Amino acid sequence: MVRFSIPLVIFIVLAGFLYAGLSLKPREVPSPFINKSAPDFQLQKLDNMNELFSNKELLGKVWLLNVWASWCVACRQEHPLLVNMARNGTVPIYGLNYKDVPTQARRWLEEHGNPYALSIVDYEGKVGIDYGVYGVPETFIIDREGMIRHKVIGPLTRTELRKCVLPVIEVLEKSEPVNVVALSEVRESCSS
Amino acid sequence: MIPELGLFALILALCVSIVQGIVPIAGAQLGYRSWIAIARPAAQAQFVFVALAFGCLVYTFVVNDFSVRYVAMQSNSLLPMMYRISAVWGGHEGSMLLWVLILGVWSIAVSVFSKNLPDDMVARVLGVMGLISVGFYLFVLLTSNPFDRLLPPAIDGRDLNPLLQDPGLIIHPPMLYMGYVGFSVAFAFAIAALLSGRLDAAWARWSRPWTTVAWLFLTLGIGLGSWWAYYELGWGGWWFWDPVENASFMPWLMGTALIHSLAVTEKRGSFKNWTVLLAIFTFSLSLLGTFLVRSGVLTSVHAFATDPERGAFILMLLVLTIGISLTLFAWRAPKVGLGGRFNLISRESALLTNNVLLIVACAAVLLGTLYPLLLDSLDMGKISVGPPYFDAVFLPLMAPAVFLMAVGPIARWKLASVPDIVVRLRWAAVVSLVMGLLTPILMGEWGAVRSLGFTMAFWVMCSVFLMLRERAMKSNASGNVFSKIISQPNSFLGMCMAHFGVAVFIIGVTMVSSYEIEKDMRMDVGDSTELGGYQFTFEGVTQVKGPNYNADRGQIVVKKDGVVETVLLPEKRIYTVQTMPMTEAAIDTGFLRDLYVSLGEPVSNGAWSVRIYYKPFVDWIWGGTFIMALGGLLAVTDRRYRLVSRIARKIKADNKSGAEEVSAKGAATQES
């Protein structure tokens, strides 16, 4: 009897995990980096590997940092949205090309379109670690003072863009210094 | 009015399925004949109602009734008719309706093709299927009603996701669901056997053809899905280890193990408990797949719009179905006898080992799929497991399994001798090793893994030929070798064919992963490039207007030795409603190679970035899966099943009144 109950016991444990999984939101991670300064980096530019680029050059601008890679399947899903955003000139998008082969990355952009003002090469993934990247793609919204204000894990969706990303950008662009109350309201309403 | 009719029909189907789920099982346990007799008509009535409901939903799509929320979400007045119909299962609600419709199809199939089974067995099987139906009808009606109205009605629909506007996607979901849901029959047989305590060879024989048919549909469904991903997603790959793909692959692995285990149970009476457990697991994995895809616990490109409330409901269904059946197993299994004994070296051992390998592979896929979720629930961070994990785990498990695929059918039941097996397989070993070493050299580049791949493929092929030859030589049938082979039982020929399909599949995979050539380049009008012996000339891009999209269509002329082979027309489409850009690759399919061209972005005046692939033997991947499915089809047409059913029917008819005899004979003539 005991021996034949093993499958049942295993299943009960699994079901427990699945139940716990339901209340989790795989796409929303409470990032310890939110409302902290974005970690500094200095990396090679994808289109010109002889030049370095640092995030300090972006102080005074609201910008998006999009972590992408040519091997990342989900990136292809969100890519048209980014291209569209770039075309509308909503906000400059900077790409962190994560653990990727630069030649393949360039080819990928050629094929799918390049929404990035600039992409930088994080070949070893060190900057990714600094930013606490869990999976690709991820998108950070960074304000004029270089603070991370919002983060999206996984591919951006149309709804997410409309409900979260664009409103957060709007608050950041309009208020200086940042209207923290309005920001947290927007972020709360979109995560529900 | 029509949507309300559909909803009403669906509610009636629920009511009938409640009766179907309770009365026949109770009748079988208590021995009430009249209660048992309800099973078949109930299953048939249930099918009529669910088919009516489905028909109503199709109708609302066909007439563009945008006052129905689901239609407004999934369709558009400009959508071509065939996609309007396939849009019915393009979203969550409709695909769940398809799910229950197909469960209805399987139920009515069991009620019609079970004339030779004892009535109480049929009652239990249909009863279990009725209970599953109840759960899913409740799910559709309470959380995912496709007939919900939208007030005020939408002026036009939001259009079907352009990715899904494709011929492959019209038949892929029905095939896949036929497979998923079909395992419910094997499951129902297993539960029925546990309930009645009759877990014997007869039970295995009854559930074998059902399991094989479900398996062959799942094989076709997965193959079609992979083919669709290949040409429609424009990535040129054919398998991505995406959670949703894994959700369909896990029941396939388990189902494959189940088919082989059923064979042992039928022939030798062994592995009874193991087989029952596999039947439960296989269907459980189908349910788990449904849960994973629709609950939002995992993120995936393919996942449906998700909703935690639905997730909780499916999880509850999952816990009830699997929990009850495993409890039943724990209670009943200890009383089941062990069956025929067998030696360490025997066909039983080979099949058991392969079973274990398949299950470990399935567990590895399950672990890889759920690992992010497990770590997350333990608060240990979030990670994603990519193809590197699966590739690393899968090859070492599949290589010995493929090796044993050749040994199993050659080895004798009960007790085999190693020298005998070695002698009978020596030519297969020599040929496959030589070919495995030579093929990569002939292809121009040697590598250890690809050499292993070819060796495995030729090993299986040679063993299939050896088996056929041995059988033909022993056969008493008259005529030449070919007719001797044809005279073998279909189940044996089906097995040979399915194994041959695996070999074809392995060749395809090995060839593509080793010898694919790709080129990415900027092409001006008139530019030419050479790849794999073919010359590709870019002749510019023209604007084309489709029914619901605008496209840039490139024209690429392909020449071989100066002779035009084909003209490829890759497109870059913008679907007008969702303004979603889509890459339509152009593919020239051939027996030995595919030429695959996809259009990138416009670079400058008239020049485009173009990606060209030369993919040797890539169609063998899907050809192999198709041959496997065909093997399954051949196996279920085995005379044994028909012969047995005719004898059983005769015995049954003799015991009954004359009136029933007439009807049984009528069914027999219908079948033949």
Residue A146 predicted with pLDDT over 60: yes
How confident is the model at residue B379, as a pLDDT? 63
Task: Specify the number of domains making up chain A.
Answer: 1
How confident is the model at residue A49, as a pLDDT? 85
Residue A94 predicted with pLDDT over 90: yes
Q: Which of residues 117-146 of A touch B (CB under 8 A)?
A: 134-135
CATH of the domain at A63: 3.40.30.10
CB contacts, 8 Å: B240 with chain A: 73
Mean pLDDT of the B599-614 span: 83
Q: Please calculate the CA angle B409-B414-B415 and round it to the nearest 5 degrees.
A: 90
How confident is the model at residue B659, as a pLDDT? 42
Do A80 and B580 lie within an 8 Å CB cutoff?
Answer: yes
Q: Which of residues 147-166 of A touch B (CB under 8 A)?
A: 153-155
Do A8 and B235 lie within an 8 Å CB cutoff?
Answer: no
Q: Is the dihedral of CA B421, B426, B430, B432 positive or negative?
A: negative
Q: Residue B611: which pLDDT band, with cuts at 50, 70 and 90?
A: confident
With an 8 Å Cβ cutoff, is B542 touching chain A?
no
Residue B340 predicted with pLDDT over 80: no
State the best of B159, B232, B382 to mutate against chain A, taking most chain A CBs within 10 Å. Answer: B382
Considering only CB atoms, B330 lies closest to which of A4, A22, A29, namely A4
Terminal CA-CA length for chain A: 46
Residue B93 predicted with pLDDT over 80: yes
How confident is the model at residue B670, as a pLDDT? 38
CB contacts, 8 Å: B580 with chain A: 80
Do B334 and A4 lie within an 8 Å CB cutoff?
Answer: yes
Per the model's pLDDT, the better-predicted residue between B647 and B312 turns out to be B312
How confident is the model at residue A155, as a pLDDT? 82
Residue B332 predicted with pLDDT over 70: yes
Q: Is the dihedral of CA B505, B510, B513, B514 positive or negative?
A: negative
Q: Is the dihedral of CA B157, B160, B165, B167 positive or negative?
A: negative
Considering only CB atoms, B277 lies closest to which of A7, A134, A153, namely A7
Print burial letters for B92-119: b (CB count within 10 Å at least 16), e (below 16).
Answer: bbbbbbbbbbbbbbbbbbbbeebbbbbb
Query: DSSP 3-state assignment of B579?
Result: coil
With an 8 Å Cβ cutoff, is B269 touching chain A?
no
* CB contacts < 8 A (A, B): 113
Closest residue by Cα to residue B212 from B630, B669, B672: B630
How confident is the model at residue B661, as a pLDDT? 40
By percentage, how much of chain B surpasses pLDDT 70?
90
Question: Is residue A128, in this structure, part of any structural domain at all?
Answer: yes
Distance of CA B89 to the CA centre of its chain: 17
Q: Letter for the amino acid at B62?
A: V
What is this structure's pTM? 0.81
Do A22 and B374 lie within an 8 Å CB cutoff?
Answer: no
Closest residue by Cα to residue A73 from B669, B522, B385: B385
pLDDT in tens, A113-127: 899 999 999 887 788
How confident is the model at residue B308, as a pLDDT? 66
Mean pLDDT of the B584-609 span: 86
pLDDT in tens, B239-261: 888 788 889 999 999 999 999 99
DSSP B179-201: HHHHHHHHHHHHHHHHHHT--SH
CB contacts, 8 Å: A112 with chain B: 600-601
Do A112 and B372 lie within an 8 Å CB cutoff?
Answer: no
How confident is the model at residue B327, as a pLDDT? 93
Residue A30 predicted with pLDDT over 70: no
Q: How far is CA B557 from CA A110, B81, B570, in A?
A: 22, 32, 11
Q: Residue B397: which pLDDT band, with cuts at 50, 70 and 90?
A: very high
Question: Is residue A187, in this structure, part of any structural domain at all?
Answer: no
Do A27 and B372 lie within an 8 Å CB cutoff?
Answer: no
Question: Is residue A99, in this structure, part of any structural domain at all?
Answer: yes
With an 8 Å Cβ cutoff, is B521 touching chain A?
no
Residue whose token pair is 């070819």: B454
Q: Is the dihedral of CA B436, B438, B439, B440 positive or negative?
A: positive
Considering only CB atoms, B326 lies closest to which of A7, A74, A153, namely A7
pLDDT in tens, B341-395: 788 888 889 999 999 999 999 999 998 888 877 776 666 655 556 677 888 888 8
Q: Letter for the amino acid at B422?
A: V
For residue B379, give the chain A residue with the closest CA.
A24
Element containing residue B601 per DSSP (H, E): strand B593-604
CA distance B416 to B540: 66
With an 8 Å Cβ cutoff, is A76 touching chain B?
yes
CB contacts, 8 Å: A4 with chain B: 273, 329-330, 333-334
Q: Is the dihedral of CA B118, B124, B125, B126 positive or negative?
A: positive
Q: How far is CA A181 from CA A171, A190, B178, in A?
A: 10, 14, 53
Do B330 and A17 lie within an 8 Å CB cutoff?
Answer: no
Residue whose token pair is 């909780």: B312
SS3 per residue for B376-404: HHCCCCCCCCCHHHHHHHHHHHHHHHHHH
CA distance A54 to A41: 6
How confident is the model at residue B649, as a pLDDT? 63
Q: Residue B235: which pLDDT band, with cuts at 50, 70 and 90?
A: low
For residue A113, give the chain B residue with the closest CA.
B601
CB contacts, 8 Å: B324 with chain A: none
CA distance B608 to B525: 9
Question: Is residue A64, in this structure, part of any structural domain at all?
Answer: yes
With an 8 Å Cβ cutoff, is A106 touching chain B?
no
Question: Is residue A191, in this structure, part of any structural domain at all?
Answer: no
How confident is the model at residue B643, as a pLDDT? 55
With an 8 Å Cβ cutoff, is B581 touching chain A?
yes
Query: DSSP 3-state assignment of B599?
Result: strand
Do A4 and B598 lie within an 8 Å CB cutoff?
Answer: no
Residue B66 predicted with pLDDT over 50: yes
CB contacts, 8 Å: B598 with chain A: 111
CA distance B183 to chain A (A): 19
Do A11 and B322 lie within an 8 Å CB cutoff?
Answer: yes
For residue A12, give the chain B residue with the closest CA.
B323
CB contacts, 8 Å: B299 with chain A: 26-27, 74, 154-155
Residue B198 predicted with pLDDT over 80: yes
Per the model's pLDDT, the better-predicted residue between B294 and B247 turns out to be B247
DSSP B581-639: EEEE-EEEE-SSEEEEEEEEEEEETTEEEEEEEEEETTHHHHHHHHHHHHHHHHHHT-H
CA distance B533 to chain A (A): 23
Mean pLDDT of the B394-403 span: 91
With an 8 Å Cβ cutoff, is B318 touching chain A?
yes
CA distance B438 to B455: 10
Cis peptide before B547 (omega within 30 of 0): no
With an 8 Å Cβ cutoff, is A110 touching chain B?
yes
* Full residue range of the structural domain in which residue A65 is found: 27-155
With an 8 Å Cβ cutoff, is B327 touching chain A?
yes
| Average pLDDT, rounded, for chain B | 87
CA distance B409 to chain A (A): 30
A94-98, B137-141, B649-653: range with lowest mean pLDDT: B649-653
Considering only CB atoms, B329 lies closest to which of A7, A74, A112, namely A7
Question: Is residue A21, in this structure, part of any structural domain at all?
Answer: no
CA distance B31 to B28: 5
Considering only CB atoms, A15 lies closest to which of B319, B329, B522, namely B319
A50-59, A111-120, B415-424, B471-480: range with lowest mean pLDDT: B471-480
Q: Which of residues 55-114 of B touch A (CB under 8 A)?
A: none
CA distance A94 to chain B (A): 20
How deeply is B542 buried, as exposed, middle or buried, from its count of CB atoms within 10 A (0-12, 13-18, 19+)? exposed
With an 8 Å Cβ cutoff, is A75 touching chain B?
no
**Beta carbons within 10 angstroms of residue A163's beta carbon:** 16
Q: Rounded to a whole number, what is the largest CA-CA distance in chain B? A: 85
With an 8 Å Cβ cutoff, is B598 touching chain A?
yes
CB contacts, 8 Å: A19 with chain B: 315
CB contacts, 8 Å: A18 with chain B: 291, 297, 315, 318, 373
Structure tokens of A52? 């370095």
Question: Is residue A76, in this structure, part of any structural domain at all?
Answer: yes
| Average pLDDT, rounded, for chain A | 83
With an 8 Å Cβ cutoff, is A101 touching chain B?
no
Residue A192 predicted with pLDDT over 80: no
Residue whose token pair is 């896949």: B176
Residue B475 backbone phi and psi in degrees, to 5: -65, 145
